[in-house]
Chain A
Amino acid sequence: MEGSDTYLIRPNHQYKFKSAIVKECIREIVRERLSGMLYDSEEVSELSRSLADDIKDKVKNAGFDRYKLVVQVVIGEQRGQGVKMSSRCLWDADTDNYAEDVFMNDSLFCVVAVFGSYYY
């Protein structure tokens, strides 16, 4: 019985995680929320959380079926320091993808990475 189970191991093309679209979502929200913002260490944790939620909601509505989304928002202050962020994933490269966008202004930088993992 279980052996006869069928699995949809590849998303339909139209529901596939498209990083360009997601990137646009991110960009839109981040631009809207962060433009002209000054870094405030007290607000930033709440801000990043709400940003992540907003982005997650928006990406959810973008219709990526059967995708688990992980949204990571990092906001840091710009003080001339060097920052290096990178990610590495163990995933099925055929289905899973990610999108990232960086927003910077004089006061802060914001890195948003959205990972979409297909839920077989």
Chain B
Amino acid sequence: MAASRPLVSVYNEKGQSTGNSVVLPAVFRAPIRTDIVNFVHDQMRRNKRQARAVSDKAGEQTSAESWGTGRAVARIPRVRGGGTHRSGQGAFGNMCRGGRMYAPLKVWRKWHRKINLKQRRYALVSAIAASGVPSLVLAKGHSIETVPEIPLVLSDKIQDLKKTKEAVGVLRKIGAWSDILKVYASKHTRAGKGKMRNRRTVMKRGPVIIYDKDNGVKKAFRNIPGVSLLSVERLNLLRLAPGGHVGRFVIWTESAFKKLDALYGTWSKKSQLKVDFNLPQPIMTNSDLGRLLKAFEIQSVLRAPIKRQARRKVKKNPLKNISLMSRLNPYAAVQKRRTLLQQLKGRRTGTTAESKIAARKERTHASLKTKRLSGVNLVKKTKKQQIGATTTTTTTATKTTVSTKSS
């Protein structure tokens, strides 16, 4: 893998860097597949459910029978007997008051989900990888602006803490206290019936402390609101990606951090503590798309970009479009000018072809007008129409008004 593995420095309980540093475990370079995390989280969340159902006797404890037709009532089964309000009321149906519900809930609903081992491990690995990216931790909502380094590794002395007071002191010194303050600020009463079911308050999640050996850490940190504690050997996706979203703020202890390589393997070496597991292969070895597109290896193989595309040209008629005509035949402009001048001259004298045509037009127009007014049949077939009539006999004789052009 082209993944670089830098050194991560270890911090002591006072927030200062000890001299030690650990090589970043390969887990942190695993592909972050939020879709897998979301799916697995969703499935895992169902595993803590407790069965609930409606009593199967509910709504069925009547001997009601339908009155049938002819009684001017609806045909649902009605309660037998008399002497009480209940008699004659509808029973059994989901629409009836006091009837059984539609599809009564059964305990044998599938409450828990099996998830493939590989999927589970993939999701966990993605979640761990995401916890090592400061941007993702910030986006999740943790305030880590005062934390010295991500991933945050503390010395093993943390594991020996016994008092919560000391634990709080440690969190303050390493700059994680602002996250806990956020948790305090987010405490509010739950919306809904959970209030009266012993789930009254809700609050945000703070940092999770991952240790190797519990010499008191658990007890020291567990009363601090928002803090979760996990052993490296038994990491929980529901704690590393709460809500199905990756990027929880994680505080590692040194030995826990060192164990990650043995637990999850590097690509070159399989996991020692998990049976037949190695880190998932990413689809892209180098996922920096921006850099790739600018790289020489790719750019050299690409054709030049088409900056200006040639679009379909609208054909223009040179006979109507003077500029196009003059592009094709420069002399056309000259010709046109000459004819124009001649026409202008002819208009006054009446000798040009145009003026003659115009005069004839006027005469025919006038004659036609008089004919129309007198009621003469004006149907006159032109040559074209006569041809058309002979070829297609089915066509009816068309009445055409004589247009000036045909003359």
> A and B: partners?
no
